[in-house]
Structure 1
Amino acid sequence: MNIKLKLGSLSLLLFTVVGQLTAQNQTNEVNDFLKDLKGSFKPVLNEYKGTDLQSSQSIEKGILKLNGNDWKCSVTTSNAKPEVIDLKVAFQLQSESAKETAVVANFDFSQWDTKNYVMIPSIIYNGNRYRTIGNGYMPEYPKDMYYNPDAPLTFSNDPQLSPDPSKPSLIDLQTGNMATPAVCFYSPTLKKGFILLTEQQTRFGNSGISIRENADRSVASIQVSAPSVRKLRTGFGDFAPSGDKAADWKKGDEVTLNFKLYSFPANSIPDLLKKFMEVRKALTGANNPRNLVPMSKQFELGTGITSTRWVEVPVGKYYAPENGNDFQLGWVSGMMNTFPMLMLNDAKERERVGIEFDFIIDKLQGKSGYFYGGITAAGKIRPERQHADFPKVQAMVRKNCDALLWMTKHLMLYKELGYGKEIKPKWEEATKKLAQAFVNTWKKDGQFGQYIVPETGEVAVFNSTAGAIAPAGLAVASVYFGNKEFLEAAKASAAYYYKRDVEKQGLTTGHCGDISQDADSESCFGFLESLMALYNVTKDGQWLERAKVQAALCSSWAFSYDPIFPAQSQIGKNKSNMAGAIWASTQNKHAAPGICTASGDYLFKLYRATGDSKYAELIRDIQHANVEAMDMPDHRTTNHGIGTEMERIQLSDAEGKGTIGNFYNTRNSWCETNGVFMALELPGVYVQTDTNKLFVFDHVEAQWLKDNKVIILENKTTHDAKVAVFAETSKQAQTPMSYVAFAKWPKVEVKAGQKVIVNLNSDGTVKSVLKGDMGGKK
């Protein structure tokens, strides 16, 4: 008996020693991987009382007795390569119970520098290490931001690594706050990049991700915890008590944290961004976009809704947004929602588009050439960002960027559809005057600012990337009007914004009308529009290379995976796959169903120019997420009518835990416009007849039948489809496409439940269509 006891004790001792050695060896392997980053790893147990940390103990050796509780931790590495390693950290309670405990994977980085670029997708850019103002949504600008080109870039009260060395520096988030559960940094001193990818949830729900700098900023700690235990949750420009609670454990409970870690040479912020886009789905894997509603059906529903919003009010006639009869130019509605209405080729709607064109010129263009941002139904100009000490009426630069690009695109589409004679001289004169206003501002101020005075052309608020789309508008206008001065200003300003904002800071900012100068997705995608416009016009490869970097930055704003929403939420009940939803800004902490407000066809153009499918996959994901947010009879979201949409796809608790996954029965017409834009400006199916390239954007399936000239289209949805097929040769793909090329794409009818065989000519035109059947509509 004694011998057996001794043998049993010896076995237990050997097991414990082997376990400790194994855990230590695996930890050492992680540390070896991180050594070039001056990094180290350790698993940790944190005990809490509420959200107050009571103790924090390392469990590096594999076992730990903490306050009478026995814990075990196993560290497993795999697939180790020079630049990537997989890490699995499993924690298990071996005693009876433990209260309010969280498990943590801790990564420390010594030789830290505040010059390091830190990015957490969709919420932290350059550490958000900028001046902050206010304590809530859309704070008022202080007096020093007006007419002051030296005013610092200013954010709302967002999470940040503090720029003030006298204050604590901590970012404390949940995975629900970010488009990809990841932490990335670039060290200019070490010439290295680091990316940590993890998963959204464990069985405890969303995990926590935090970054803490020590007092002298020489060490930074990145922690991933399960569950998340934050003191404060971040809101829309403010903070509130989190309501978080650490987990209560019982014997045998186990939780595993999974990671992919990347350590790689990097000479710049763009190097980190490009690597991020390359690997952002590496841990979560490919997402699963669902085919729900064909793009042609979405176009039909969206334009139908816009048609019903034609109003005749005291100030004039126009298409109004969803929330009243006041007119707003650009950003989310005016002279944007008219574009697909023009494409309808319907005499009544075309007449309405012309009336709105007249309206904005007669009512909103200032003496400088810039436009005011909006006007009430009663005829009162709507001022933007006013300050009591500065009475001149201001307007958003971004709205004027939209106006220039879309007015020019309207003129081009009129001509493409054969209605060039209907273009009034004053439409062209007003568009040209607006382009000249941008040129004048560029020559005078060397930037476009964030807010301008339409009467005088003065920049009222400087800085930000609010002028992100201006180079696109100028480039397109330079072609339409044959004006070289427009193109030179486009090139110079795009180069300026790329170097100042993207290359040096890894962000773009201040594009939305309801934020401060926060980093935001709209300026990010808008600037990609400009870079691709310059490539389109100049054929200069430098713009294409910059566009690749910008697309990578854009990808950080889009869900890279299909997040888990509460099962009883509206999104949860619909079982929606939301990969591709676009987060709004570092202030407005929610995703939305699309790019506000654009089709993102520049991503398709980038795919076409490079052949790199990750750009096509990104815009395909965005399009499918938009449809997931659309109200349909068997897929209720807004309850405001079939085809309507709502902008907040909320995975975070920024608006309270009860808001996660719910739309709350409201709608935002820009989301509907965005869906219509994608249905119009993206092909349903793209093929190259001399290669095996085939990519599907529409809600159908497609495959080659033979010799790259015959494809099968299959529509498994419950709606009939008219699929735009854009086919060409690889040689043709080297020539940038027209901004109105979509007007000539052939449409192939594929009824619900039907297959068709499409026979293509060598030049990509449709030769014939043979219809099949899958049993009719479901």
Structure 2
Amino acid sequence: MFKFTVIKISLTFIVLQMCLNASAQNNNEAELLKLLSDIRGNASVKISRFNHDDVSGQWSFRNNTIVDSTRKWRLQFNANKIQGEQSALDGELHIKLEEGFAPASSASLNFNFAQWSRENYVLVPAIVYNGNRYQSIGDGYNPPYPGSMYYNPRVPLTISNNPRLAIEKNKASLLELQTGNAATPAMCFFSPKKKKAFIILTQQQTQWGNNGLTIAENAAQDSCLFSINIPAVRKLAPGFGDFHKSGDKAPDWKAGDEVTLRFRVYVFDASDIPSVLKKFMEVRKTVTGANQPRNQLPMSALLNMATGICSNNWRTFPVGSYYLPENSKDFQLGWVSGMMNSYPMLALNNEVERNRVTQELDFVVNKLQGKSGFFYGGITADGEIRPEKMNPDYSAAQAMVRKNSDALLWLLKHLMLLKEQGYASLIKKEWEQSARSLAQAFVNTWKKYGEFGQYIVPENGEIAVFNSTAGAIAPAGLAIASAYFHEPEFLQIAAASATYYYERDVVKQGLTGGDCGDISQDANSESAFGFLESLMALYYFTGDQKWIEMAKVEAALCATWTLSYDPVFPANSDIGKLQCNMAGAMWASIQNKHAAPGICTASGDYLFKLYRATGNELYADLIRDIQHAHAEAVNRPEHLTTHNLIGSSMERIQPSDAEGKSSIGNFINTRNSWTETNGMLMALELPGIYLQTDQKKLYVFDHVTAKIVSSDASGTTLAVNNPTAYDASVSIFAETKAMSQKPLSYTAFTKWPKVLVKAGGKVIVHIDSKAAVSYQQ
């Protein structure tokens, strides 16, 4: 197992060794000192020389200068107040080697914090949550659980071998990362004692390559250093639950070489972790700037491609008939598409696919449900149950709580859609009884254990592995089940469990995790988005504004997992050659250090619902970014990514070197059903164009452009352009602001009118006062 390098950090503040002396020559630099003083922080700029990846010498700037033998360095430092921000400064370092030659050298901007506490919440978006200060197991991908983790209600949250601050007391820690590891190039912390928070944002890279992000805590755990390194020079790079030699090299500088680093510092009052998360979402793009989503693939064209793939993957085996999930003939329920990819096929509303979907529902209900009401997570084409995360000392097969949460949600969504389409007569009592039994199994588990756990035994309903946020989506399923079956207790347990997850995981730890089948209890994005689904479901069924307030925090946590900018990829990589703009790609987990196209596995329509309820465009921007990044990964003739089926996509958008430097920016010649499924779902459950008629508020999600041409008592007229090479059938959702305060139903998308816009074409659309849509080419 990787051992952390022991470091020593002085308790004495490092003096800001720039232009500052007894009489500060630059008031703005003094402002930085003043800002940091609120958290007992200080700063320095240093030059380090390396022998391979070991520091062989280090020098601090004094009066903006370093003179080392024949070398002379010059520093220019600017810090500017930000209009409207009392607690932030924009900074810029400009470092130049004026004389001499400096081999293997890097620069660093260092923030040192005294009066530090191990109780501080530390965040590096998409890779470090709560300092990752948790019990760790294994030394690689998806490590097996030790026996002590099974049937143990007191099992501590346990993660894979990831970068982390020491869980032990009196032990130093060193986290060496680079900007490619993070969804946003940022480092943050919150002090519960001081009720203060710190955010440092920077750019991805300079001409020397990606910048480094280093956090070093001393052995006494009362001092901590946050550094931005120019460029990253790490001993070890984090992989998928392990570490490997980084291969980083400090550059050689010759006279005249210079580099500029831009950054922004926030130090602000914060009452708790949720307030820090919300602040982060507000500011995450302030240094990297607004991203540039490209309009390339209309949602309707994506839907046609992906449903074509799914339709061609219908199979009949001895065990039953179903749409293949992933690239295997075996069936896997939930998580990565089983009984989820069937939903968009049902939404096509044609007889062939409807008949197939009903056969799949028969198969799932008849073959996978255990005596307790919980489902098994998978089955082979020959009918053999596939157990999950098994303890070899027990024979009872286990299943993921996450998969059961998905099963409850999606089975009920199928039933609601059939009713909306006018096919309630096709709904079998066995399906409804199965859904009700599953909901009751969750209720029984909650009453017995006060949680849902991570793995359960479908035969008897016992929790096999406790802890984690694996049941993040379960409250949504229970809330729907309560309305569907007119059972108040289901809603009561939905509310109680959602409150429990929110307080235990989000408020106290600033993370959710453990709901993927290939990680431990690591923080991950899927549980974050899944929990947002639950919070918005509770708002829909109760109308209680408290769920919206929780959803705002959860959406901010989701934003930490989402690429906030368009990274620069190697020019010769797949993504580099295609010049893809990947803001919106979704990081997987702190173990699986890669991004992917879309949410696993959902449309993210709950973000749109949150946007409607609040009017805050940050939520609309987030889901638009996710949808456009997804399209960048879709394989099509003029934009080859997977080199697989047209319309296929796969789960690797890799900005980091977790899989080696050669993997950065390269796709893999395969396909993932779940990424294709979430593309279909986005095409269905998100409107192409959203308009609030009385507010003249227009937001475009689809790959078209639109603007308001006129608006009067008769209605609103839009001009819609399609710049892509594909015809677009664009759904339009129009309403008033007052109507937006009513929660949106799960099948509302079936009623959105559509406008056909030819490739490269334009239409004029009129929306009357009753939201009826007409258009002309």
Shorter-chain TM-score category? over 0.9
**Deviation of the 1:66 alpha carbon:** 2.2
Whole-angstrom CA distance in 2 between matches of 1:508 and 1:709: 43
Whole-angstrom CA distance in 2 between matches of 1:750 and 1:20: 67
**Deviation of the 1:285 alpha carbon:** 1.1
2:728 equivalent in structure 1: 721
Whole-angstrom CA distance in 1 between matches of 2:414 and 2:535: 20
Quick one: which of 160, 164, 176 aligns to 1:156? 160
Quick one: which of 103, 120, 127 aligns to 1:123? 127
Whole-angstrom CA distance in 2 between matches of 1:726 and 1:597: 24
Q: Which consecutive aligned stretches of 4+ in structure 1 deviate over 6 angstroms post-superposition?
A: 16-24
Preserved contact between residue 21 and residue 61 of structure 1 (Cα < 8 Å) = no
**Deviation of the 1:303 alpha carbon:** 0.6
Q: How does 1:24-173 map to 2 (within 5 A)?
A: 26-80=28-82, 81-173=85-177
Deviations 1:315-371 (A, max 9, x none): 111111231100000001111000000011111110010000000111100000000
**Deviation of the 1:67 alpha carbon:** 4.2
Query: Which residue identity lines up with residue 504 of structure 1 in the other structure?
Result: K
2:479 equivalent in structure 1: 475
Preserved contact between residue 43 and residue 60 of structure 1 (Cα < 8 Å) = no
Whole-angstrom CA distance in 1 between matches of 2:20 and 2:50: 31
Whole-angstrom CA distance in 1 between matches of 2:651 and 2:609: 26
**Deviation of the 1:55 alpha carbon:** 1.6
Query: Which residue identity lines up with residue 762 of structure 1 in the other structure?
Result: S
1:216 equivalent in structure 2: 220
Q: 1:354 to 1:18 in 2, by over 3 A?
A: closer
**Deviation of the 1:28 alpha carbon:** 3.2
Quick one: which of 287, 290, 297 aligns to 2:291? 287
Q: 1:111 to 1:316 in 2, by over 3 A?
A: same
2:412 equivalent in structure 1: 408
Whole-angstrom CA distance in 2 between matches of 1:19 and 1:770: 70
1:320 equivalent in structure 2: 324
Deviations 1:142-186 (A, max 9, x none): 111100010100000000011112432111101000000000111
Preserved contact between residue 23 and residue 75 of structure 1 (Cα < 8 Å) = no
Query: Which residue identity lines up with residue 528 of structure 2 in the other structure?
Result: C
1:545 equivalent in structure 2: 549
Q: How does 1:245-324 map to 2 (within 5 A)?
A: 245-324=249-328
Preserved contact between residue 20 and residue 61 of structure 1 (Cα < 8 Å) = no
1:746 equivalent in structure 2: 753
- For these two proteins, the number of residue pairs brought into alignment is 755
Whole-angstrom CA distance in 2 between matches of 1:193 and 1:79: 18
Quick one: which of 604, 613, 616 aligns to 2:617? 613
Whole-angstrom CA distance in 2 between matches of 1:119 and 1:385: 29
Q: 1:23 to 1:169 in 2, by over 3 A?
A: farther
Whole-angstrom CA distance in 1 between matches of 2:476 and 2:62: 54
Q: Secondary structure at the match of 1:94?
A: strand
1:341 equivalent in structure 2: 345
Preserved contact between residue 326 and residue 336 of structure 2 (Cα < 8 Å) = no
Whole-angstrom CA distance in 2 between matches of 1:603 and 1:728: 18
Match status 1:576 vs 2:564 = no
Match status 1:461 vs 2:468 = no
Quick one: which of 757, 763, 776 aligns to 1:770? 776
Deviations 1:722-751 (A, max 9, x none): 000000111111100110000111011111
Query: Which residue identity lines up with residue 636 of structure 2 in the other structure?
Result: M
Quick one: which of 555, 580, 596 aligns to 2:600? 596
Identity, % of aligned pairs? 58
Whole-angstrom CA distance in 2 between matches of 1:390 and 1:232: 38
Deviations 1:523-551 (A, max 9, x none): 00000000000001100000000000000
**Deviation of the 1:664 alpha carbon:** 2.4
Match status 1:682 vs 2:689 = no
TM-score, length basis structure 1 = 0.96
Preserved contact between residue 117 and residue 185 of structure 1 (Cα < 8 Å) = yes
Query: Which residue identity lines up with residue 114 of structure 2 in the other structure?
Result: S
Deviations 1:481-530 (A, max 9, x none): 11101000000000000000000000001011100000000000000000
Match status 1:226 vs 2:233 = no
Please, which runs of 5 or more residues in structure 1 have no aligned partner?
Answer: 1-15, 772-778
Query: Which residue identity lines up with residue 769 of structure 1 in the other structure?
Result: Y
Q: How does 1:551-562 map to 2 (within 5 A)?
A: 551-562=555-566
Preserved contact between residue 171 and residue 221 of structure 2 (Cα < 8 Å) = no
Preserved contact between residue 147 and residue 460 of structure 1 (Cα < 8 Å) = yes
Whole-angstrom CA distance in 2 between matches of 1:23 and 1:341: 68
Range with bigger deviation, 384-393 or 100-109: 384-393
Deviations 1:351-404 (A, max 9, x none): 010000000111100000000000011111000000211221000000000000
Whole-angstrom CA distance in 2 between matches of 1:19 and 1:319: 71
Q: 1:61 to 1:425 in 2, by over 3 A?
A: same
Q: 1:397 to 1:435 in 2, by over 3 A?
A: same
2:662 equivalent in structure 1: 658
Q: 1:241 to 1:67 in 2, by over 3 A?
A: farther
1:364 equivalent in structure 2: 368
Whole-angstrom CA distance in 1 between matches of 2:368 and 2:386: 10
1:496 equivalent in structure 2: 500
Preserved contact between residue 23 and residue 73 of structure 1 (Cα < 8 Å) = no
Please, which runs of 5 or more residues in structure 2 have no aligned partner?
Answer: 1-17
Whole-angstrom CA distance in 2 between matches of 1:695 and 1:764: 16
Query: Which residue identity lines up with residue 214 of structure 1 in the other structure?
Result: N
Quick one: which of 375, 378, 383 aligns to 1:374? 378
Whole-angstrom CA distance in 1 between matches of 2:59 and 2:135: 35
**Deviation of the 1:22 alpha carbon:** 7.4
User: How much is the aligned-residue C-alpha RMSD, in angstroms?
Assistant: 1.4
Q: Secondary structure at the match of 2:225?
A: strand
Whole-angstrom CA distance in 1 between matches of 2:465 and 2:28: 54
TM-score, length basis structure 2 = 0.96
**Deviation of the 1:444 alpha carbon:** 0.5
1:697 equivalent in structure 2: 701
Query: Which residue identity lines up with residue 32 of structure 1 in the other structure?
Result: K
Preserved contact between residue 20 and residue 63 of structure 2 (Cα < 8 Å) = no
**Deviation of the 1:29 alpha carbon:** 2.9
Deviations 1:283-324 (A, max 9, x none): 111110000010001011111100011111121111112311
**Deviation of the 1:18 alpha carbon:** 11
Preserved contact between residue 26 and residue 75 of structure 1 (Cα < 8 Å) = no
1:189 equivalent in structure 2: 193
Preserved contact between residue 77 and residue 85 of structure 1 (Cα < 8 Å) = yes
Preserved contact between residue 48 and residue 101 of structure 1 (Cα < 8 Å) = yes
**Deviation of the 1:765 alpha carbon:** 2.0
Preserved contact between residue 464 and residue 517 of structure 1 (Cα < 8 Å) = yes
**Deviation of the 1:79 alpha carbon:** 2.8
Q: Secondary structure at the match of 1:37?
A: coil
Q: 1:32 to 1:487 in 2, by over 3 A?
A: same
Q: Secondary structure at the match of 2:252?
A: strand
Q: 1:58 to 1:26 in 2, by over 3 A?
A: farther
